[in-house]
Amino acid sequence: MNTQEHGRVHRIIEDALREDAGMGDITGDATIAGDAHGVAELLCKEPGTIAGLDVAALVFQYCDPSAVFGPRYEDGAGVRAGEVIAVVRGSARALLTAERTALNLLQRMSGIATMTRRYVEAVRGTHARITDTRKTVPGLRVLDKAAVRAGGGVNHRFGLDDMVLIKDNHIASAGGITEAVRRCNAYLTAHALRIPVEVETTSLEQVREALACTGISRIMLDNFSLPAMRDAVLVIDHRVEVEASGGITLDTIRPVAETGVDLISVGALTHSVRALDISLDFVSQV
């Protein structure tokens, strides 16, 4: 992660701990001696792909700066059910205060990485790469997208300010693809911006119109049938990147990849992911 992303992660952790712990962990303070130290294991209870270990480590260290977090895997590693993925040592009170926040983030990120890996494996041997969307939990996008990378996917734009994506509503408002692209190119020139421009299309006619425009780096084929997608790939003929999008699932993705598209965007990687089952268990306390 770059410096800006690290800043976002720290804010996420601070907000999450403030939300969960409030003025303090009453149960932990009442039942555990202040000088007690503990050792806990993070146990993966089902097979999957791990992501977010460094984030979990930061959570524990926020609650106890002297906590020692020892990962046994790196992000992106596949693990089996029953494997210990990390051991953490520190103040027993602090470990329990950090537990839920650390697990919430680690489980969600690992769930995203696990789902992404399944999609990546489903298109293995083809030219296609799996990419994400902006359908992320508000405030958690930096973690959601890091988890996609850990699972072997690639990131689409992070937000509205790092790429132009001309979609159906922009096209309708501008009066067509040609005018929408012209306006975007004029805006980028006026503001000295050098960022990619992608156009969403819903028909071969629109694909041809987009190809006639200057400054385009990618065309999205939105909800194309497989025959139409194959025709579009032939028409585009490697002049720009091709992205397939629209309700693509694990059951349907392989034929899409075999049409020759460069990218397949899948909102389900982040918008409806199931968290991977990971627990924290004390193994000793002194």
At 207 the pLDDT is 98
Q: Which residues of 157-196 form beta strands (DSSP E)?
A: 164-166
Distance from C-alpha of 202 to C-alpha of 189, rounded to nearest angstrom: 27
Six token digits for residue 115: 């789902």
Say what the pLDDT of residue 286 is: 67
Q: In angstroms, rounded to a whole number, what is the distance separating the alpha carbons of residues 48 and 112?
A: 10
Residues 6+ apart with CB under 8 A from 44: 50, 79, 80, 81, 82, 83, 84, 85, 110, 276, 277, 278
Which residue, among 240, 269, 46, 2, has the nearest Cα to 142 in the 3D structure? 2
Residue 4's pLDDT is 74
**pTM of the full structure:** 0.95
- Give the pLDDT confidence score for residue 138 in this predicted structure: 94
Residue 235 burial (CB count, 10 A): 14
> Where, residue-wise, is CATH 3.20.20.70 in the chain?
163-266
Candidate CATH numbers 3.30.300.20, 3.20.20.70, 3.40.109.10, 3.40.50.970; the one for domain 163-266: 3.20.20.70
Report mean pLDDT in 10-residue bins for the chain, 286 residues: 81 96 92 95 98 98 97 98 98 97 98 98 97 96 97 96 96 97 97 97 98 97 97 98 96 98 97 96 84
Catalytic (active-site) positions: 100, 135, 167, 200, 222
Give CATH superfamily name and number for 3-120+273-285: Quinolinate phosphoribosyl transferase, N-terminal domain (3.90.1170.20)
Q: What was the pLDDT predicted at 1?
A: 66
- Beta-carbon count within 10 A of 8 CB: 16
Within the chain, all domains assigned CATH 3.90.1170.20 are found at 3-120+273-285
